[in-house]
Amino acid sequence: MAEVERATAARVQTIAQSDPPQVPPQYIQPPQVRPFCCSPSAAPAAGSIPAIDLSGLDPTHRDRVRAEIGRACRDWGAFHVTNHGVPSSLLDRARAVGSSFFRDLSVDEKLAYACDPSSSAMEGYGSRMLENDDSVLDWRDYFDHHTLPLSRRDPSRWPSSPPDYREVMAEYSDRMGLLAKQLLGLISESLGLPASCIEHVVGEFYQNITVSYYPPCPQPDLTLGLQAHSDMGAITLLIQDDVGGLQVLKDREWITVEPLSDAIVVLLADQTEIMTNGIYRSAEHRAITNASRARLSIATFHDPSKARKISPVSELVSDTSPPRYHEVVYGDYVSSWYTKGPEGKRNIDALLL
């Protein structure tokens, strides 16, 4: 098969557009990880991630916000923030340019931005999370952008259509970076640490933005849009459209994160679990599919540089509370994630002392 044909055939959107009655076998998940429910609306109604109102961070409100963030990080590792200061028009524009890229461009136009399938974590248009031959594939196409530090940002590698794509994504990156810093400050304070503590350990943010597109799926009960994982870095900020499909694991049960208009989902990632010595846990999450509507999400990952060494912060370690994780060089952590695959949280568990 010619190179381009192979790439085209691998696109989930192309498969979905041919209206197959069944998904191809490589998308069928083993029974133990299949979604219990076949549509987000059939998911358990009880329990949803907490929603925290960030408005008015003056000293009085800051105490309330800190306490709520502490509870959410301890109990869930995931929460919504509202009144976060990012204009809802920007969230809408980011969703609009993302869905226009997937919906309005032909496959050939999209393939002009294809990322190199033989190399992990590359920028561009892609379809699979892992390249291991034996891995079950996600029912998802995506576009990954390298956005911060600015030296990594090259909008000429991003879609030129719709015409405002690059401008919107750059502004979105800047605003998410600022919010991520603010949230890491509140998370530090919620542990009685100086606001800058976690941010100092992380150092300069390495930020990537992934726009995920999940076409309608003929067999949502057999597939996953994105397999279960926790994110590798420090903190992820995610928006989704009104279709829904993000699920967070809580007490061994998958809870659907109902889309909340204008809110941003905060997901603690593995390095924050290490820095907080396990007081706060990273959120294991996944995306399920549905048969009727395509879904879009935009995840913004904030990571340390590859050279950064991460360990539990000294203020949280004592004789009575010894370190629970080995120190890790972040780049080694990333390599191991891509070699072994996410499989839930296996990678971070390997660092437990």
Residues that bind ligand AKG (CB under 6 A): 210, 212, 226, 238, 240, 246, 285, 287, 297, 299
Closest approach, Cβ 137 to ligand AKG, in A, equals 15
Q: What is the DSSP string of 125-143?
A: EE--S---TTSPPPS-EEE
Nearer to ligand AKG, 197 or 226 (CB): 226
Closest approach, Cβ 259 to ligand AKG, in A, equals 10
Nearer to ligand AKG, 49 or 197 (CB): 49
Question: CB of 205 within 8 A of CB of 237?
Answer: no
Nearer to ligand AKG, 135 or 311 (CB): 135
Reading phi first (left if > 0) and then psi (alpha if -120 to 50, else beta), residue 337 is in alpha
Closest approach, Cβ 154 to ligand AKG, in A, equals 21
Nearer to ligand AKG, 37 or 317 (CB): 37
Nearer to ligand AKG, 80 or 285 (CB): 285
Closest approach, Cβ 279 to ligand AKG, in A, equals 23
The C-alpha angle 306, 311, 316, rounded to 5 degrees, equals 145
Closest approach, Cβ 229 to ligand AKG, in A, equals 7
Closest approach, Cβ 286 to ligand AKG, in A, equals 7
Nearer to ligand AKG, 72 or 248 (CB): 248
Question: How far is C-alpha 191 from the geometric centre of its chain's CA atoms?
Answer: 24
Q: What is the DSSP string of 3-29?
A: HHHHHHHT-HHHHHHT--SS--GGGPP
Q: Are strands 226-229 and 235-240 parallel, antiparallel or unpaired?
A: unpaired
Closest approach, Cβ 34 to ligand AKG, in A, equals 17
Q: Which residues contact 163 (CB under 8 A, 6 or more apart)?
A: none
Cα separation, 296 vs 243, in Å, equals: 8
Instruction: Give me the phi and psi of 281, to 5 degrees please.
Output: -110, 145
Following CA atoms 91, 97, 100, 106 in sequence, which dihedral angle do they give, to the nearest 10 degrees? -150
Nearer to ligand AKG, 73 or 265 (CB): 265
Q: Are strands 51-53 and 309-310 parallel, antiparallel or unpaired?
A: unpaired
